[in-house]
Amino acid sequence: MSRTAPPDPARTRVLAERWGSWVLPHWLERQADPASPAFEPAPAAGGVVNTTCRDRAPVGVLDGTVIATVDPRGLVTPGEQGWSLDWWVGADDRWHLPSREPAVRQGLIGDAPVVETAMRIPGGDLIQRVWAFRDSSAGDALAVELENASRLPVALALAVRPYGPDGAGRIDRIEVTDAGLDIDGRKVLWLPKPAARTAWSSLADGDAADTVLAGEAVGASHGTVECTAGFATAALIYPLAHTATLRVLIPLAPGDHDQRPEAVPPPDAVARGWATHLGQHTRVEVPDPEWSASLSAATAQLSLSAAGRALTGSEPTTETAALVGALDRLGLHDQTRRVVATLPHGQRGGGRLGGADPSSDATSAALSAAGRHWRIGRDDVLMAEMAGPLAAGGHHHARRGGLLRRGRSAPAPLVDLGWRLRGIVDAGSAVRASQPDAAEALDALASTARAELDAVVDTTARVDAELVDVLALVAPLGVLDASHPLVGSVLDWVRDRAIHDGGVARLTGATGLSPELTALVGRAELRRGEVSALDRIDWFVRTGGPTRSWSQRLHPRLGTGCGGDGCSAAAAASLVDLVLDLLVHETADGAGLVLCAVWPESWLGAPVEVHGLRTALGTVSFAIRWHGERPALLWELEPHPGVDAVELTIPGLDPSWSSSERRGEALLAAPVHLVDGDGDGEPAPPQAGTGPTEGESFA
């Protein structure tokens, strides 16, 4: 999957030093401004990188090859092409530039990857909408639509910029014709009509924005500009009357693009299509609309990110495994199957998996992705096809052995050993049906790995910042019980030293607030029945912003992305897993399911529904209705073949209740252990019309 090209810090410094004269991306306008709280002093030599606002929203199509991004001010970057499309508006008072204007708002249409950005101008708004679609003749394309929702006509400039959301790209040559725009000989824009005026410039001549803002753009509708330094810029200016709309198209698929799309679906239709796609699988309805919207948007982002992914690809294997695990829980098995099927392609000598990923956890992550896919979806056919590589990958771990004897510090071996144990166990699970002898041998190796892990856990006493990652042993790895004293010690350390506004800071290596660490802490807290886990979900909702996407690391002071991928699939998977764990997770022994581990006070009296959530034990659906002050539980479990009785509990509402029935209804005890908003110790009154419906079923 093609994403944004890595920026060149040295070339980005060239742009930063032109602050005040060039129109720069929003983050660099702030980071280079000494009056801004986001100002970052730069060393006398070296490059400049985006450490203050890496945020962006992903846009693409299912099973597409390219993900485009939209930054918080509407800068559109179509994958790894080294350029972006900006938009400037000439109103009756002055030119308005989104990267500099304070009155810019952004959001998603229907929680889908359809981004709407509005900039306030005299008389109303200028609204930009960006979405992707698939055309049978032209392939995948991006639509960028601009609507004049103000009461006055404006001039609209479409500006081709030699940078992306994190820094400088490269444009050597721009050619504009009446029908389109080429960059370095490649068609990158289909235009609806010739521009009324144009402006051009190279680095030596300054920014094309100077010409536009000075009102000196010429009347030519076509022309060419070249820049040997790779900083060519151009702006195409169109008159836009009141209520008028201008739409340009950007090809996303690689290759020549002489064929223009025949039809463009409107953005609301694309949003409805995404809602239909996501609604065919797991459906979650909770009282908090912000939680629901964040979960839906994160799920759509994972669906986008799964296209073209491989367990042998350029992305970290652990990240791909996290993505696969979250999508499998949501029932999106067709997408995850294509990813898991790539596992054998990157197997190297000795059975190592993960392709070129140098991480010591790559083999374990690949095995875990396959094993989790089998446990949740029971894809026996695929596992039989991959039995040999899976068994070899499991044995690869046995040959690694004895990590402590290599002189490494305790925290790293703990995480490594947890991944190794998980990988061996999952390899055994995946091949058991097709190669029982291999599975038996892997079971023996798992026993050895378990003993080694237990020995290290029992001798670990010192807790520090490097140990926080071991919470992964609780979840997603599931090889350490959350009740273990070490888990409690780590959680206490985190809450004392690493929590900021509900998020968890990574204090070693690449620092910043970490969505992945925040989810690890929250998932461990849920398994301990601690309501502080809700603070972790609230943090995700707040920091996701209006487009509900998360950077890999966030700035604790600014609340914006400060490092890593600006729309991280791993972060989206972390939120999905955290919310799903709140609703349903397996017990530590793998024999039962915990529904609603904790219950938010704000949900008292409100209904909750979960339909078709996949687990390692089967597919579970349930609903909470209210009968007076007492909650009523309606549930249905479709267990996997061979799964016997599964004990269900719901400790967040009634810690005393349990059942091993596959379906049923139960009137639970009033949740007196929860305190309502008045603080009087009494449950909140139920909402009208939320009592159980006679004969209600999930069938």
CA distance 519 to 322: 12
Interatomic CA distance for residues 494 and 518, integer angstroms? 10
- Give the span between the Cα atoms of 535 and 494, in whole angstroms: 14
Give the whole-number percent of the chain exceeding pLDDT 70: 93
Q: How many other β-carbons are positioned within 10 Å of the β-carbon of residue 393?
A: 30
Per-residue pLDDT at 245 exceeds 90: yes
- pLDDT at residue 401, as a whole number: 53
Question: To which residue do tokens 């709309």 refer?
Answer: 245
State the average pLDDT over residues 408-428: 80
Q: Are 614 and 377 in contact (CB under 8 A)?
A: yes
Residue 281: pLDDT band (50, 70, 90) is: confident
**How large is the greatest C-alpha to C-alpha distance in the chain, in angstroms?**
78
Q: 699: pLDDT confidence band, cut at 50, 70 and 90? A: very low
Q: Torsion angle, CA of 145/150/30/173, rounded to 10 degrees?
A: 40
Q: What is the arithmetic mean of pLDDT over 265-281?
A: 93
Per residue, the 3-state secondary structure of 15-63, as one string, reads HHCCECCECCCHHHHHHCCCCCCCCCCCCCCCCCCCCCCCCCEEECCCC
pLDDT of residue 256: 60
pLDDT at 557: 94
Tokens of 445: 């190796």
**Does residue 160 surpass a pLDDT of 50?**
yes
pLDDT value for 69? 97
What dihedral angle (degrees, nearest 10) is formed by the CA atoms of 367, 368, 370, 376? 160
| pLDDT score of 449 more than 70 | yes
Angle at 666 between CA 664 and CA 667, to 5 degrees: 160
Closest by CA position to 4, among listed 238, 164, 156:
164
Tokens of 302: 């994972």
Answer yes or no: is pLDDT of 377 > 70: yes
Confidence of residue 698 (pLDDT cuts 50, 70, 90): low
Residue 147, token pair as written in the block? 């609507």
Phi, psi for 320 (deg, rounded to 5):
-65, -40
Residue 653: which pLDDT band, with cuts at 50, 70 and 90? very high
pLDDT in the model for residue 589: 93
pLDDT band at 222 (very low <50, low <70, confident <90, very high): confident
**Residue 629 or 254, more confident:** 629
Strand 245-251 and strand 561-563: the pairing is unpaired
Partners of 117 in the β-ladder = 106, 128
Cβ atoms 361, 320 nearer than 8 A: no
Using a CB cutoff of 8 Å and minimum separation of 24, what contacts does 486-492 make?
A: 486/457, 486/460, 487/524, 487/528, 488/528, 489/463, 490/463, 490/524, 491/521, 491/524, 491/525, 491/528, 491/530
> Is the predicted pLDDT of residue 66 greater than 80, yes or no?
yes
Is the confidence at residue 680, as pLDDT, over 90? no
Is the separation of the CB atoms in 618 and 563 below 8 Å? no
CB 31 within 8 A of CB 39: yes
What pLDDT, on a 0 to 100 scale, did the predictor assign at position 406? 39
The token pair that represents 195 in the structure block: 């521009």
> For residue 521, which of 475, 572, 485 has the smallest C-alpha distance?
475
Q: Give the pLDDT confidence score for residue 532 in this predicted structure.
A: 98
Average pLDDT, the chain: 92
Q: What is the pLDDT of residue 692?
A: 43
Q: Which of 511, 517, 519 is nearest to 562 (CA)?
A: 511
Tally DSSP H helices, then E strands, for the chain: 16, 31
Q: What is the pLDDT of residue 472?
A: 97
678 pLDDT band, cuts 50/70/90, is very low
Region 250-254 average pLDDT: 85
Strand 592-595's sheet: what is its strand order? 584-586, 592-595, 647-650, 654-659
Looking at residue 349, its pLDDT comes to 85
pLDDT digits (tens, 9 = 90+) for 80-121: 778 999 999 999 999 999 999 999 999 999 999 999 999 999
Q: Residue 420 is which amino acid? A: R
Does residue 411 carry a pLDDT above 80? no
End-to-end CA distance of the chain: 38
Torsion sign across C-alpha atoms 392, 394, 395, 401: positive
Tell me how far apart the alpha carbons of residues 246 and 192 are, in angstroms, rounded to a whole number.
8
Q: What is the pTM of this model?
A: 0.94
Cβ atoms of residues 288 and 180 within 8 Å: no
> Cα-flanking dihedrals φ and ψ of residue 201, to 5°?
-170, 160
- Residue, of 308 and 471, whose pLDDT is higher: 471
What is the pLDDT at residue 682?
52
Q: Regarding beta strands 499-500 and 124-135, do their DSSP bridges make them parallel or antiparallel, or are they unpaired?
A: unpaired
- Residues 599, 652: contact at Cβ < 8 Å? yes
